[in-house]
Amino acid sequence: MRDGGAKKGLKSEYLHGLALREEVTPEDARAVGRLVESTGFFTSAEVEIAVELVEERLARGPASGYFFVFAEASGELVGYSCYGPIPCTLNSFDLYWVAVRPSEWNRGVGGLLVSASEEKIHKAGGRRIYIETSTRAQYEPTRRFYERRGYSRESCLRDFYAPGDDKITYVKELK
């Protein structure tokens, strides 16, 4: 990552012309909905949940337990991640969402979002990160993406999402 001449920190880091920010704005709810829908991976109910998490953060702030990293190019949202501490654990976090606009796939945006999220989680005292995903064939690239970033398969719940659609949980321990 390079700084781009601005103050150091997540808000001003750049890679491939991307700016990362953490602040959530009212415009983010609609932008996240459009982005998540554009991927073709998520149901309408899942798109609604993605939007609801942004709205919950706007309404309750950090007390919501939802934290975000937004990647923008020329002021437009091209990807985002959402993470948060897992209730009733000492230092475990969920990485709830990583979504990238299809035109930006395979350009490092997803990896940048995961790395930035891991850094923020580590600074918040997180030691373990959990990610859940589907076993549908469509998600094979997603599973490989997490495995390349050091996440290991921890569990599989059969028929979790639907018959024949299992839930895999990945975990990564932060050092």
Q: Exposed e or buried b for every residue in 29-44, given b needs 16+ CB within 10 A?
A: bebbbebbbeeebbee
Residues 156, 107: one domain?
no
Would you say residue 172 lies in a domain? yes
Residue 27 belongs to domain with CATH number: 3.40.630.30
Residue 140: CB atoms within 10 A of its CB come to 11
More confident residue, 138 or 3: 138
pLDDT in tens, 70-105: 999 988 999 999 999 999 999 999 999 999 999 988
Would you say residue 87 lies in a domain? no
Residues 70, 38: one domain?
yes
pLDDT at 10: 42
Would you say residue 24 lies in a domain? yes
The whole-angstrom separation of Cα 51 and Cα 172 is 26
The whole-angstrom separation of Cα 116 and Cα 11 is 11
Residues 43, 112: one domain?
yes
Residues 36, 63: one domain?
yes
pLDDT in tens, 53-63: 999 999 999 99
86 DSSP assignment:
P
pLDDT in tens, 92-138: 999 999 999 999 888 889 999 999 999 999 999 999 999 999 999 99
Would you say residue 133 lies in a domain? yes
Containing 121, the helix (H) or strand (E) segment is helix 109-123
Would you say residue 58 lies in a domain? yes
Residues 150, 78: one domain?
no
Residue-range definition of the domain harbouring residue 163: 127-175
Residues 104, 169: one domain?
no
Q: What percent of the chain has pLDDT over 90?
A: 83
Based on the structure, what is the number of domains in the chain?
A: 2
pTM of the model: 0.88
